[in-house]
Amino acid sequence: MSDVLQNTGGRDTGSGRGARSTERTQETGTARSVPVPAAEAPVVGTPAPESPGAESLAARAAALDAADPLAKRRDLFALDDGVVYLDGNSLGALPRHVPARMAHVVSHEWGRMRIRSWDESGWWTAPERIGDRVAPLVGAAPGQVVVGDSTSVNVFKALVGAVRLAGDDSRDEIVVDATTFPTDGYIAESAARMTGRRLVPVAPGDVPAAVGPRTAAALVNHVDYRTGRLHDLPGITAAVRDAGALAVWDLCHSAGALPVDLDANGVDLAVGCTYKYLNGGPGAPAYLYVAERHQARFDSPLPGWNSHADPFAMAPGYAAVDGARRGRVGTPDILSMLALEAALDVWDGVSVHEVRAKSLALTDFFLECVRAYVPEGRLTSLTPTAHAERGSQVALSCADAPAVMARLIERGVVGDLRRPDVLRFGFTPLYVGFADAERAARVLAEVCAEADAEAGVER
Ligand SMILES: Cc1ncc(COP(=O)(O)O)c(C=O)c1O
Ligand SMILES: Nc1c(O)cccc1C(=O)C[C@H](N)C(=O)O
């Protein structure tokens, strides 16, 4: 391979790691064994002379940043100048204005208004109001997205709801993305058992061939959390629907990073989190999309009182409310929900297409810098080079990934580790710039060289 990086295009590297068994041993976003970076830990400020081409790449980065229409958005976020934050695909950064907004919510709406806030501060309608703020970011017309609960819980609602919408008992299979983030796989397995269906795990690319008259629903991740591979949402959705089944998408790693176009692609149901590219904060509520055409028949497996047509009647029998609100369950987590609502302000005036263009330029440039700085064969890229197959993260693998990520974080380049050997770098176009990408690659090269020197490896 002539490339400095070997590229496995996001496919299994053949190292004997079954996707499932690896995924079941995931650690928290920043590997627990990795020291938390000091907020002020500086990154090397000037190009290291020994890095080939560093000066020209640094100059190119400066020019790209100067021409970047989104560059100013970074000022909206609380970030440390000396740190390159490439972990927004695990936890998005804090928009600066959120603490003051939350101080008002806590001291005034909760502290002074107390119970009146359910009506007068708009708490009761927050799930659907904020759903309508998320909707344009995922290409949905208003009235189809409701915010609340975790992604895991919404996967359950969406998948069981999809099987019920499919109706026909002869549709006795649920197809699931075999490379999925584990929670979706666990819940799909449970949903299959509960609904008396057989679970059929297949790679996303094989879903069109796997669906047929026996398929009730297919659950697929839009972007693979480990490799950063972007799956073909339009093509897979069309194949699933042509088979008479329902397409359910997990958008955790795509919403806020690239256009999703749920309505235009005829997606049936979708879920996603808001704490990654949407910057809603740790544990921010997730969302559920139910296409309008399905809403009247959507039969939630969690019919709590918040989705009752007349919740305050407190009637013993359940009667579902109309619309996206049917996806609600119980009392929403108002503080997290209002933090998310405030955080979404950073999207005002931003086009998702502009974000996508910058995301691709950033990941291209990062890969170019890694190729220039890191000796050939030291790292293997798991992220596809084709734009049509790439999300907004770069995943690089090497045998000593845990030690490499620990050193990177010590030096202020914050990515994360997915055991056993994946270094993940998330590029969040609203606050990551080209100079960040160049610095991250340069520090990565230094760290790899140090680790090699200590291990007595010559390249
Ligand atoms: C693709 C995907 N789905 C689901 C989840 C988990 O969702 P939650 O823990 O918020 O329920 C994550 C990340 O945590 C994820 O990356
Ligand atoms: N949700 C997380 C958490 O509560 C702690 C640490 C990490 C996370 C994550 O979101 C992990 C993430 N979904 C991933 O892609 O690996």
pLDDT in tens, 310-364: 999 999 999 999 999 999 999 999 999 999 999 999 999 999 999 999 999 999 9
Amino acid 6: pLDDT: 54
Length of the chain: 459
Domains of the chain by range and CATH? 6-95+350-455 (3.90.1150.10), 124-331 (3.40.640.10)
Is 90 touching ligand 2 by the criterion CB < 6 Å?
Answer: yes
Identify the residue whose C-alpha is closest to ligand 1 atom 8: 151
Number of H helices, E strands in the chain: 14, 14
Q: pTM for this structure?
A: 0.91
Residue 225 Cβ inside 6 Å of ligand 2? The answer reads yes
Q: Which residues of the chain have pLDDT under 50?
A: 1-4, 9-47, 49
In this structure, the residue with its CA closest to atom 15 of ligand 2 is: 225
Ligand 2 binding pocket includes 363 (Cβ within 6 Å): no
Report the candidate in 139, 351, 159, 133 with the shortest Cα–Cα distance to residue 262. 139
Q: Whose CA is nearest to atom 7 of ligand 1?
A: 151
How far apart, in whole angstroms, are the C-alpha atoms of residue 257 and residue 225? 13
Q: How many Å lie between the centroid of ligand 1 and the Cα of residue 249? A: 12
What is the model's pLDDT at position 180? 95
Query: What lines the ligand 1 site, CB under 6 Å?
Result: 150-152, 181, 183-184, 221, 225, 250, 252-253, 273, 286
Q: Is the CB of 29 under 6 A from ligand 2?
A: yes
Strand runs labelled E in 274-399: 287-290, 380-381, 393-397
Is 28's C-beta closer than 6 angstroms to any atom of ligand 2?
yes
pLDDT value of position 5: 58
Ligand with the closest atom to the CA of 227: 2
Q: What is the pLDDT of residue 50?
A: 60
Ligand nearest to the CA of 177: 1
Report which residue type is found at 19: A
Burial grade of 314 (CB within 10 A; 0-12, 13-18, 19 or more) = exposed
Confirm whether residue 275 is marked as ligand binding.
Answer: yes
Indicate which residue's Cα is closest to atom 13 of ligand 2: 90
pLDDT at residue 35, as a whole number: 36
CA-to-CA separations, 14 to 11, 130, 229, 276, 382, in angstroms, rounded? 8, 43, 17, 29, 12
Q: Is 305 annotated as a binding residue?
A: yes
In this predicted complex, what is the ipTM?
0.97
Give the pLDDT of residue 312: 97
Centre of ligand 2 to C-alpha 224, Å, is: 13
The residues carrying an active-site annotation are 181, 250, 275-276, 424
Q: Is 152 annotated as a binding residue?
A: yes
Alpha carbons 321 and 371: distance in angstroms, whole number = 55
311 appears as a binding residue in the annotation: no
